[in-house]
Amino acid sequence: KFWRSILPKNDISRSFIIEDECVTDPVDISNGFNAHFQSVFTEDNGCEPSFSFNLPCSSLENIPISTSGVLHLLLNIDCKKSAGPDGVPNSFLRRYSLWTSRYLALIFEKSLSSGRVPKLWKSARVVPIFKSGNKQSLLNYRPISLTSTCSKLLEHIVYSHVSEYLECNSIICPQQHGFRRHFSTTTQLLEFTHDIATTLNNKGQVDAIFIDYSKAFDKVSHSKLLLKLKVILKNPLLLDWITDYLKDRSQFVSYGNANSSEATVSSGVPQGSVLGPLLFLLYINDIVDNIPVKVRLYADDCVLYNDIHSANDQLLLNESFARFFNWTKQWQMEINFEKSVFMKFTNKKSPFVFSYGIDEIVLREVSDFKYLGIIFTSNLKWDRHVDYICSRALRKLGYVKRTLKNSSKEVKLTAFKTLVRPILEYGSVVWDVHLKKDINLIDSVQAKAIRFISNRYDRHFSPSSALPTLGLESLSLRRTIERLKLLHRIVNNVSGIECMNYISFSDISRTRRSHPLNIVPFRSRVNCFKNSLFPRTVELWNSIDGATRMLQYDDFVIKLAKVDFL
């Protein structure tokens, strides 16, 4: 009840412009949304483009079902989440898990062995989620599908086996960081930022093209997806099951207390499902083939970039963009050219100039761009990002103040930790600032929060002195610890980042004081490289005693809390 009262409700309008008319009736609005979401679906053109994968010799084995495994999934159900279209409450499934696990195990086994999915599991209740822009425009909402919990449990089992098969056989391209174990937006952003900073450290230039796909998850052609799955999985029984999983799907939109009529889902992978993201990764997996420049992917978020030493390097980048475009057409996806942009990263006074585009379409050049939630600038400074996150955090803090002005200190503190502080810390290992003005600006948000939590607004009160009392740490210290924690995971190869691509260990034979986990320091010429994750954190890492660095991750984190970094 507490979180239901404090968390902002889905920011949705009460009226919408549908076919140039202002509509307020919930039924008409729900039908309008459903028609809009259905309009982006792709009708397969019957073509079968060629593709290649790094295919293993072995095939994926049939998936075993056990009652104990189903019981484990049932016991981990989130009872707070809504029931799917089948109306079976999560609380019921969990409360009677010992009983339901036996029957669900039989249903799951029958479903996989017959290659058939129950019809009710193919229906989705779609909730429109506001993105940004005009709230009355249907274009500014994304569909999130709520499907049967029982279906999701079986999807979890299938997902677990398929993803393990894919990772063990290195089928997913290494450039992809989306929806994969150990990978995240942070790992993707870190690799991209390090590449840019390294080039700037060498007084070079990097041109980057940020590609935006229109409704990527909704436009996946089912027949083309199955074409790839047949080659990748090499399991006819599972292929039959996935074919039936995608076949004859339907959806209806819920708005207010009204539901739309049902509509057929002719393409796409369900957003909000368990299998959908994995199927999408396999669909776009070969998009990086024959691309001679660097590519970074997080699901459908894509950036192409290249070091620029001459006009030929820019031509190569533009040719790579053209190859992406050709792949997009062949596989019936669509690039949003209005939102796709390019940026030059350089400190040169006279950089190489080029207009990127395809045919008569010219991409817009920008000097800053928000990519995966982080604002990048052409000189790789973070002041604009700091301004952005502080502005967002202050707005959220204002909301918390209005909502919880009469609440206890404990409630206010919990709200700050869960609603405000994460805004200030997302991706901080990538952008952790070193300039005093930026550090102070971020700290000022926490200081305002501490005054609110403590209900102390007099000038004699010091927010920093109240940190220990409230069980809080300085945000700068928290960012430092996060960098060290990530480096520990990288060194131990559990981060998704290939350790040896970024760091080298010292030769322990040269001196008695060397340690096998000492990392060779980086040589920095410019501040943006000097203060990036690896150069900055390696220096700190090497200063920590060897015994601490040798600890397992959980023990290492506990030990860090006792280290004085001042």
pTM of the model: 0.92
Confidence of residue 325 (pLDDT cuts 50, 70, 90): very high
Residue of higher predicted confidence among 131 and 325 = 325
Per-residue pLDDT tens for 458-516? 989 999 999 999 999 999 999 999 999 999 999 999 988 999 999 999 865 555 456 77
For residue 53, the model assigns a pLDDT of 76
For residue 451, the model assigns a pLDDT of 97
CATH 3.30.70 location in the chain: 185-214+283-377
For residue 9, the model assigns a pLDDT of 60
Taking residues 138-160, what's their average pLDDT?
A: 93
Instruction: Report in angstroms the alpha-carbon separations of 170 from 173, 281, 284, 295, 449.
Output: 7, 13, 15, 17, 46
Per-residue pLDDT tens for 393-407? 999 999 999 999 999
For residue 264, the model assigns a pLDDT of 94
Three-state SS at 321: helix
Confidence of residue 7 (pLDDT cuts 50, 70, 90): low
Residue of higher predicted confidence among 550 and 516 = 550
3-class SS string, 480-525: HHHHHHHHHHHHCCCCCCCHHHCCCECCCCCCCCCCCCCECCCCCC
Asked if pLDDT for residue 48 goes beyond 80, the answer is yes
For residue 82, the model assigns a pLDDT of 83
Taking residues 540-548, what's their average pLDDT?
A: 93
User: Which residues touch 280 (CB under 8 Å, ≥6 apart)?
Assistant: 179, 216, 217, 220, 269, 299, 300
For residue 552, the model assigns a pLDDT of 96
Three-state SS at 389: helix
For residue 513, the model assigns a pLDDT of 57
For residue 125, the model assigns a pLDDT of 93
Query: Is residue 41 exposed (0-12), middle (13-18) or buried (19+ Cβ within 10 Å)?
Result: middle
Q: Which two tokens stand for residue 95?
A: 């409360």
Asked if pLDDT for residue 94 goes beyond 90, the answer is yes
User: Which residues touch 558 (CB under 8 Å, ≥6 apart)?
Assistant: none
Instruction: Give the range among 150-159, 262-271, 483-492 with minimum mean pLDDT.
Output: 262-271
Percent of the chain with pLDDT over 90: 84
For residue 115, the model assigns a pLDDT of 96
Question: Distance between alpha carbon 429 and the CA centroid of its chain, in Å?
Answer: 16
The rounded distance, in Å, linking the Cα atoms of 560 and 517 is: 16
For residue 112, the model assigns a pLDDT of 97
Q: Helices then strands (H, E): number in the chain?
A: 22, 16
Q: What is the mean pLDDT of the chain?
A: 93
For residue 123, the model assigns a pLDDT of 93
Asked if pLDDT for residue 166 goes beyond 70, the answer is yes
Which letter, b or e, does each residue of 313-348 get, where b requires 16 or more Cβ atoms within 10 Å of its Cβ? bbebbbebbebbbebbeebbbebebeebbbbbbbee
CATH node for 185-214+283-377: 3.30.70
Angle at 91 between CA 244 and CA 269, to 5 degrees: 25
Taking residues 517-529, what's their average pLDDT?
A: 94
For residue 566, the model assigns a pLDDT of 59
Which of 6, 13, 23 minimizes the C-alpha distance to 256? 13
Taking residues 202-221, what's their average pLDDT?
A: 96
Instruction: Report in angstroms the alpha-carbon separations of 287 from 17, 282, 326, 341, 371.
Output: 37, 10, 10, 19, 20
Asked if pLDDT for residue 91 goes beyond 90, the answer is yes
For residue 3, the model assigns a pLDDT of 62
Query: Is residue 265 exposed (0-12), middle (13-18) or buried (19+ Cβ within 10 Å)?
Result: buried
Taking residues 265-290, what's their average pLDDT?
A: 93
Per-residue pLDDT tens for 426-455? 999 999 999 999 999 999 999 999 999 999
For β-strands 364-365 and 341-346, DSSP reports them as parallel
Confidence of residue 4 (pLDDT cuts 50, 70, 90): low
